[in-house]
Amino acid sequence: MSFWLQYSATRARSVSICAALEKEDYVVQPVVDVSPPKWHLGHTTWFFETFILKPYSVAYQEYNPDFNYVFNSYYETLGARVIRTDRGNLSRPTVDEVYRYRDYVDLAMEHFLNNDDLESTVKEILTLGIHHEQQHQELLWYDIKYILGHNPLFPAYREHGVEQQLMVTEQDKEWVEILEGLYEIGHRGGDFHFDNEEGAHQFYLQRAFLSPVLVTNAEYLEFIVAGGYRNFNFWHYEGWDWVNNNKIVAPLYWHYIDGTWFEYTLSGLNPLKKGAAVSHISFYEAAAYAQWKGLRLPTEFEWEVAAQRFNWGQLWEWTESAYLPYPGFSKAPGALGEYNGKFMVNQKVLRGASVATSPDHSRITYRNFFHPHLRWMFSGIRLAK
Query: For residues 43 and 32, what is the distance between their CA atoms, to the nearest angstrom?
Result: 16
Question: Residues 113, 7: contact at Cβ < 8 Å?
Answer: yes
Burial class (CB in 10 A: 0-12, 13-18, 19+), 236: middle
CATH label, 164-380, candidates 3.40.718.10, 3.90.1580.10, 2.40.50.140, 3.40.50.720? 3.90.1580.10
pLDDT of residue 159: 72
- pLDDT at site 96: 98
| Distance between CA atoms of residues 54 and 125, nearest Å | 13
**Total-model pTM:** 0.96
What is the pLDDT at residue 116? Answer: 67
DSSP string, 131-179: HHHHHHHHHHHHHHHHHHHTSTT---S-SS-GGGGGB----SPPPEEE-
Residues of the chain with pLDDT under 50: none
Distances (CA, A) of 340 to 70, 141, 154, 379: 21, 21, 35, 20
Reduced to 3 states (helix: H, G, I; strand: E, B; else coil), residue 262 is strand
Please state the domain extents for the chain: 3-149, 164-380
User: CA-to-CA distance for 315 and 276, rounded, in angstroms?
Assistant: 11
3-149 and 164-380: same fold?
A: no
Phi, psi of 53 (to 5 degrees): -70, -50
What sign does the CA torsion over 296, 309, 355, 260 have?
Answer: negative
Closest residue by Cα to residue 101 from 23, 45, 60: 45
Give the model's pLDDT for residue 162.
80
- Report the C-alpha gap between 379 and 376 in whole angstroms: 8
C-alpha torsion angle, residues 125, 131, 136, 140 (rounded to 10): 150
H/E element holding 300? helix 300-306
- Specify the CATH number for 3-149; select among 3.40.30, 1.10.3470, 3.90.1170, 1.20.120: 1.20.120
Residue pLDDT, tens place only, 196-250: 999 999 999 999 999 999 999 999 999 999 999 999 999 999 999 999 999 999 9
Alpha-carbon distances of 348 from 94, 199, 280, 286, 351, rounded to whole Å: 36, 19, 15, 12, 10
